[in-house]
Amino acid sequence: MSKGNALLGFVSGLAVGAVLGLLLAPAKGSETRQKISTKGTDLAESLKAKFDEFIDDLTQSSSQAKTETTDCPEQ
């Protein structure tokens, strides 16, 4: 299993667990909806940060590969 799939599985499990925990907790409906909304926003921000980090790493790797290819002497 790749790291990306493992991370996606972990995050998905975490999200499902958090939502189920909130739904089963003894709280008013309005409080529960607010908690779910907050958790959803937090999760979305976390995923965006991870995606941005992935894109930055990919861009850096691409630039490094291009530089290495350009620096190779022709045969």
Model confidence over 5-20: pLDDT tens digits?
787 788 888 888 877 8
Q: What is the pLDDT of residues 17-48, one digit of tens each?
A: 877 877 777 778 788 788 878 888 988 898 89
Domains of the chain: total: 1
Q: 14 lies in a domain?
A: no
CA distance 55 to 62: 10
Residues with Cβ within 8 Å of 44's Cβ and at least 6 positions away in sequence, in order, are: none
Confidence of residue 73 (pLDDT cuts 50, 70, 90): low
Give the model's confidence band at 63: pLDDT under 50 very low, under 70 low, under 90 confident, else very high: confident
Domain that holds residue 45: 19-68
Answer whether residue 1 is part of any domain: no
pTM given for the model = 0.50
Write out the two tokens for 34: 């607010």
* 48 part of a folded domain: yes
